Structure 1
Amino acid sequence: MTSQASAKTIRPGRLWNTRSRSSLYSTSAPLAEACIARDLEDEPDDDPENPIDEQETTEDDSESDEENARPMGSRNTVGSPMISSYRRPSFALAGSRATISTGSQPSIQTPTKRDRREARREERSLLRDNNIIPPKHPRKGNWSDTFGRQLTRHRSQPNLDGPGGDGKMVAHSEDTTTKISRLPETAPLLGDPELPYGGQDSPTNLDQKWEEAVLEGKIKTTWQRELKVLSRYSGPLVLTFLLQYSLTVASIFTVGHLGKVELGAVSLASMTANITGYAVYQGLATSLDTLCAQAYGSGKKKLVGLQTQRMVYFLWAITIPIGVIWLCAEMILMKIVPEKDVAVLAGQYLKIVLIGAPGYATFESAKRYLQAQGLFFASLYVLLICAPLNAFMNWLFVWQFNWGFIGAPIAVAITDLLLPILLVLYVRFVAGAHCWPGFTTRALHNWGPMVRLALPGLLMVEAECLAFEILTLAASYFGTAPLAAQSVLATLSTFTFQIPFPISIAASTRIANLIGATLADAAKVSAKVAGFAAIAVGIFNIILLSSLRNYLPHLFTSDPEVIDLVAKVLPLCAAFQLFDALSACCNGILRGLGRQEVGGYVQLFCYYAVAMPVSMGTAFGLNWQLYGLWAGVAIALGLVAGTEGIFLWRTNWERSVEDAKSRNERA
């Protein structure tokens, strides 16, 4: 089926479809609907509803292009984590790789004024590039023509012939009177040459031309355009992910130079903190991706704050058992890990980090409170402050104050407490306060639906987390030096993953938007561009890790044994960087197509049925140690990239458009 034929059978959509009406990768959320319905029943009668449609869906077409130039990526579809991943990446993890949505997505999200404005800007740009409306800037001739035209305009007195205006423009000059026929409004590349877009960029005209162009299959895109869009979307995301990951890397840099025991202890402590704490917070908080977005989409803005407040209280309650585990971590780890001195230091680390755990739980909830309102850049602004401050505190506490190993967890705890404070200040003084209902006892009730909705997210995040944290635990059985080397290798691998993963998120958003607008051919072009971008990033990471394999270990440690071990294993980690980037890209495309369940099943099989058995068998059975642990990961990532790539190659993109249309109609 050709794109034109399919377009004629499918009602053309707008570029805000996938962000507003229904996420392409959404599923029904009866638990969320029941929870919100119960909150609506309990809502006081005098509580103003303040529906979104009355405030945010009014078009303001007088805004300039500069005001409209905010990237679409800053307001991703609900459920696509534009600014932060679902879990805090640790240096012991190989990135956020799961594509199964970790929480049910909202079925309806009303398009905001910003959504509509950005969508109109993109539509106008596509119409311009396809020569359906004139260019943005009026075309100018040579200097003499321009000067003559300006002189004529200043000396002319235009008016309309006849009292009724017959559509003929008369330009009176000193020598002659010329009648110029006004050209049809629907003719492409015509209109007033002195106005931007020929004066054809009115909302009504753009809507008409967009509908006609989509139905006739005239909307095409180019590699250059998609590369530009992908770069604009992913740029802020890469920066945000690198800043968030630097919170962990700063501790590695400072503690690693104290010794290999300290470096191994940080690795073990972070593994324990991720499995038993941070992954729990992030997994449970994913329910807010549904609850807050549905509350905001229904026009009940105060319910967004209520759901967030309820989650904060719940996560604080969960902190009690987490705290018990962390306080007893020293005794627990000494029974699991053969290196007792490493276990002791890891226990000390967890006891100090526990101070910041409630702050981190609050930050995870506050992020989603802001994301539900489309304020995705708030986290970036906060990280721009906290990331440099965290690095400075690590250096100050560990080396200048001579606190040694405990200086690193103190810096982490302070940063975790500072993150939510800055977000609260953002809400109070910048944006987002209109959704806060104030502190209320209603947040202490109706926890049941929220918990049931959060459990799938918790299980998925924990399954993903555990698959890679097992490698760190396994490395501890090879000795202190291999454990320290494992932390460096995992840090570098995760650091390089912070580039292709945000690019995959940007690709997911772009493809979802194009699919929602019934532009299957344009979505395929965007997917191809994303694939080649992933290949380029993968090759860059391979060259980076391979060429600097003898230099990068010195950034983390001064121990010769650890440096030598990292330098020997790093080429293996570099070898699978291409597969890593491609698998991330394929996951993003699958999310954009609404087929993320395919990637989820593929990854779960490859990680647990392939990676873990191969890693353990080669590491312990063949005595390959670290080589064996990473060999299983390399094979699994290769299988993921190959399997998902074949699936995408055989995908019917027109069918994806029809599926998206059906989901939107059901919403």
Structure 2
Amino acid sequence: MGTERSTGCPSRDTHRNAHRHSLSSSFRSSSPLAEQYLARDLADYSSSDDDVAVDDSGSEHHPRDASTHFMNRRPSGVAYGGTRPVLNPQIVDDPGLSPLERRQSRDAERSLLRDNHVLPPKRPERKRRHGLASRMYHRIFGTRPPAEEDVESRGPALVVQPPSETSPLLSGGQSTSHDDDDEVIDQQWEQAVAEGRIRTTWQRETKTLAQYSGPLVVTFFLQYSINVASIFAVGRIGKAELGAVSVANMSAAITCIAPFQGLATSLDTLCAQAYGSGHKHLVGIQFQRMTLFLFTLMVPIAVLWYFSTGILLLVIPEPDSARLAGLYLRVMIFSIPGIILFECGKRFTQAQGLFRATTYVLLVAAPFNALLLWLLVWRLELGFVGAPISVAVTDTLLPILLFLYVRFVDGRQCWGGFSRRALSNWWIMIRLALPGMIMVEAEWLAFEIMTLLSSRFGAEYLAAQSVVATLGSITYQIPFPVSIAASTRIANLIGAGLVDAARTAAKVAVFTLALVGILNLTLFSTLRFHLPLLFTDDPDVISLVARVLPVVAVMQVFDGLSAGAHGLLRGIGRQSIGGPANLFAYYAISLPLSLWMAFGLGWKLEGLWLGVTVGLVVVSIIEYVYLLITSWESAAREAESRNEAG
């Protein structure tokens, strides 16, 4: 998704592609403020080095245009981390595809054309057996549209002639046979879309959703595991320690992680636009600029964390938990530079289409964190303080590993070295970043405030809240990545004008997320006395968690459905309704209900989570009603208009 740019050489018939429907269309115009920001940088710092872009093969070409589009866009903005990934109304501007992704995209287009009988099959079709097992297999797993839409009723398929003995070996500077084939695919795609010959099936969309979301699920689990591992590690020390970790993570989230992630979301737009314009060194400058800005904010946060014990004693009625949480935050001061560098660094790599860089880094860092936790907490018998030391070391390791990836694997082309340019043009960057920070902070606070409220009931309730919140966040690492993948796929299909196909993909996504929610409901309900044992052996805490989990189990269904609604809205370019709907449900309905049921009715933790569940039900109803009444055809026309405008 995002503003489209060419992923091929501009010499390839750019004029004829100006009106081409592609499966990678834009769903919002670039931010005018971001465009103004980039224009100022170009005006102030344009040089001969910046005027020429270097592609992945090392050859030079001019900045990309919007002429040539490919099918599959990678989901963007992955690996937010933290305890509760949130809906952010800002959509990442696509930096373009890598050579591997371009090849995969072209292969996907060919596959769709073959399944719709526009291109001949990849291999000569053998006569199918008509046995029951064969028919059931093709009915369940086949990706082709139903037989009634076969080739006889839809026109002749294109026959691509293979080279013959008389075919010239050299084309005199003309396109190669591979380029000719790509041109043929382009022509057939345009014609097939215009004639309404492209259809999809639920089998194909299920396969695509799994391919898109699989790596994202792994990435989210890996990054979340860095924080959640400390809860597992110290939970068996005591209930005061278990509650303290929850309080410390809450404090770190709302005072540092959420604001820094919210501010860094501006790089999703700024770095991607700089990369897409062909001025790659500006990507590094944007990274330096945001990093320096966040480092200036680090000082007051470090002071706040250093003196956090006294503050927490005023708001947390459990003195032991407050003191331990303050100790945790003091140690975590050393993690702040790593948090800043990694949050900015992963935007630096993602703007270049290097989405796997973060996953590779986490594949190393997450197991290292688990091993270090065991070593410090249990082997060296440091106890509670071993947990924040491990997290701080791991948070420092993350940007180091990312730097090594950029230096020795890929991404170095956008680093032009340290520059004084990073010290200028801060004001527009701050204006662009503030809305993202406010949105992320507001949504994180809505969930983290439950930890603060639960502390009013006693140490065992605070420990139980820590367990319940961790379990809910673990299971959320599946619906949220799936929603990102669904939004990408639906955006691709809507951008191509394939509205019916987009609806099919949406139905598959909603069904998948509902199924995930039902599975989580079953898991939480049937194992409600066993799941707490993963965290603690305190009988009081286990009993409290077992009482709350049935409520959280019901919440899982609506948690998944609301995540799916967020993804569908992003996919059709109507994500602006999501933020207000969330904030209304959280602060106007969920939080008042939670307070009334927890304190007014005396339901305590059950009341807190029941209020959250009602809020999620309201969000789901608002967003799905909006999806039903909004015109998806209108979204497709808007995407087409933006493509035609370049």
Please indicate the TM-score interval, normalised by the length of the shorter structure. 0.7 to 0.9
Tell me the distance in 2 between the aligned counterparts of 1:592 and 1:46: 38
Tell me the distance in 2 between the aligned counterparts of 1:323 and 1:351: 8
Residues 503-542 of structure 1 aligned to structure 2 (within 5 Å): 503-542=482-521
Tell me the distance in 1 between the aligned counterparts of 2:623 and 2:476: 18
1:40 CA displacement: 1.7
Moved more, 324-333 or 47-56: 47-56
Match in the other structure for 1:14: 22
Q: Does 1:89 align with 2:82?
A: yes
1:603 CA displacement: 1.2
Tell me the distance in 2 between the aligned counterparts of 1:53 and 1:607: 46
Q: Is the 8 A contact 2:524 2:550 kept in 1?
A: yes
Amino acid at match of 1:391: A
Match in the other structure for 1:38: 40
Q: CA RMSD in A?
A: 2.5
Q: Is the 8 A contact 1:56 1:113 kept in 2?
A: no
Residues 304-315 of structure 1 aligned to structure 2 (within 5 Å): 304-315=283-294
SS of the aligned residue for 2:602 comes to coil
How big is each residue's C-alpha offset from its partner over 1:455-474, in whole Å with a ceiling of 9 and x where there is no partner?
11110111011111110000
Match of 1:614 among 589, 593, 618: 593
Match in the other structure for 1:29: 31
Q: Does 1:458 align with 2:437?
A: yes
Residues 544-623 of structure 1 aligned to structure 2 (within 5 Å): 544-623=523-602
SS of the aligned residue for 1:576 comes to helix
1:212 CA displacement: 0.9
Tell me the distance in 2 between the aligned counterparts of 1:610 and 1:432: 45
Tell me the distance in 1 between the aligned counterparts of 2:127 and 2:499: 38
Q: Is the 8 A contact 1:488 1:553 kept in 2?
A: yes
Change (3 A) 1:72 1:28: closer
Match in the other structure for 1:130: 116
Change (3 A) 1:271 1:367: same
Amino acid at match of 1:127: L
Match in the other structure for 1:480: 459
SS of the aligned residue for 1:221 comes to coil
Match in the other structure for 1:355: 334
How big is each residue's C-alpha offset from its partner over 1:487-512, in whole Å with a ceiling of 9 and x where there is no partner?
10000011111111111110000000
Q: Is the 8 A contact 1:394 1:408 kept in 2?
A: yes
Moved more, 45-54 or 462-471: 45-54
Change (3 A) 1:200 1:295: closer
Q: Does 1:645 align with 2:612?
A: no
Change (3 A) 1:41 1:200: closer
Give aligned-pair identity as a percent. Answer: 54
Amino acid at match of 1:409: P
1:111 CA displacement: 6.1
Tell me the distance in 1 between the aligned counterparts of 2:413 and 2:424: 22
Amino acid at match of 1:49: D
Tell me the distance in 1 between the aligned counterparts of 2:54 and 2:490: 26
Match in the other structure for 2:475: 496
Gaps of 5+ in 2: 1-17, 62-69, 129-154, 165-177
Tell me the distance in 1 between the aligned counterparts of 2:421 and 2:187: 47
Amino acid at match of 1:352: V
Match in the other structure for 1:626: 605
How big is each residue's C-alpha offset from its partner over 1:201-220, in whole Å with a ceiling of 9 and x where there is no partner?
81121111111111110000
1:139 CA displacement: 3.5
Match of 1:378 among 338, 342, 357: 357
Tell me the distance in 2 between the aligned counterparts of 1:561 and 1:201: 71
1:37 CA displacement: 2.0
Tell me the distance in 1 between the aligned counterparts of 2:345 and 2:538: 41
Match in the other structure for 2:216: 237
Tell me the distance in 2 between the aligned counterparts of 1:539 and 1:141: 41
Gaps of 5+ in 1: 1-9, 60-69, 143-185
How big is each residue's C-alpha offset from its partner over 1:416-444, in whole Å with a ceiling of 9 and x where there is no partner?
00000000000000000000010122212
Change (3 A) 1:371 1:57: farther
Q: Is the 8 A contact 1:15 1:119 kept in 2?
A: no
Q: Is the 8 A contact 2:259 2:441 kept in 1?
A: yes
Residues 418-437 of structure 1 aligned to structure 2 (within 5 Å): 418-437=397-416
Tell me the distance in 2 between the aligned counterparts of 1:298 and 1:55: 18
Moved more, 272-281 or 42-51: 42-51
Moved more, 641-650 or 414-423: 641-650
Q: Does 1:295 align with 2:303?
A: no
**What TM-score do the two structures reach when normalised by structure 1?**
0.83
Amino acid at match of 1:253: F
Match in the other structure for 2:157: 188
Q: Is the 8 A contact 1:12 1:518 kept in 2?
A: no
Change (3 A) 1:121 1:402: same
SS of the aligned residue for 2:630 comes to coil
Amino acid at match of 1:98: L
Change (3 A) 1:48 1:642: closer
Tell me the distance in 2 between the aligned counterparts of 1:610 and 1:617: 11
Q: Is the 8 A contact 2:238 2:538 kept in 1?
A: yes
Residues 368-407 of structure 1 aligned to structure 2 (within 5 Å): 368-407=347-386
Q: Does 1:365 align with 2:344?
A: yes
Q: Is the 8 A contact 2:247 2:452 kept in 1?
A: yes
Change (3 A) 1:385 1:547: same
Q: Does 1:118 align with 2:104?
A: yes
Q: Does 1:100 align with 2:89?
A: yes
Tell me the distance in 2 between the aligned counterparts of 1:306 and 1:450: 12
Match of 1:251 among 230, 234, 256: 230
Q: Is the 8 A contact 1:109 1:297 kept in 2?
A: yes
Tell me the distance in 1 between the aligned counterparts of 2:438 and 2:179: 52
Tell me the distance in 1 between the aligned counterparts of 2:185 and 2:60: 16
Amino acid at match of 2:552: C
How big is each residue's C-alpha offset from its partner over 1:247-278, in whole Å with a ceiling of 9 and x where there is no partner?
11210111111000001110111111000011
1:370 CA displacement: 0.4
Q: Does 1:442 align with 2:431?
A: no
Residues 172-211 of structure 1 aligned to structure 2 (within 5 Å): 187-188=156-157, 190=159, 202-211=181-190
Tell me the distance in 2 between the aligned counterparts of 1:528 and 1:267: 37
Q: Is the 8 A contact 1:49 1:301 kept in 2?
A: no
How big is each residue's C-alpha offset from its partner over 1:557-588, in whole Å with a ceiling of 9 and x where there is no partner?
11110011101111110012111111111110
Q: Is the 8 A contact 2:305 2:333 kept in 1?
A: yes
1:651 CA displacement: 2.7
Match in the other structure for 1:151: none
SS of the aligned residue for 1:600 comes to helix
1:652 CA displacement: 1.8
Tell me the distance in 2 between the aligned counterparts of 1:250 and 1:550: 21
Match in the other structure for 1:67: none
How big is each residue's C-alpha offset from its partner over 1:370-416, in whole Å with a ceiling of 9 and x where there is no partner?
00000000000011111111111111100111101000000000000
Amino acid at match of 1:188: A
Q: Is the 8 A contact 2:23 2:72 kept in 1?
A: no
1:52 CA displacement: 5.5
Tell me the distance in 1 between the aligned counterparts of 2:42 and 2:621: 47
Q: Tell which structure's C-alpha radius of gyration is larger.
A: 1
Q: Does 1:285 align with 2:239?
A: no
Tell me the distance in 2 between the aligned counterparts of 1:654 and 1:116: 27
Change (3 A) 1:99 1:645: farther
How big is each residue's C-alpha offset from its partner over 1:344-389, in whole Å with a ceiling of 9 and x where there is no partner?
1111000101101101110000000000000000000011111111
1:132 CA displacement: 0.9
Match in the other structure for 1:161: none
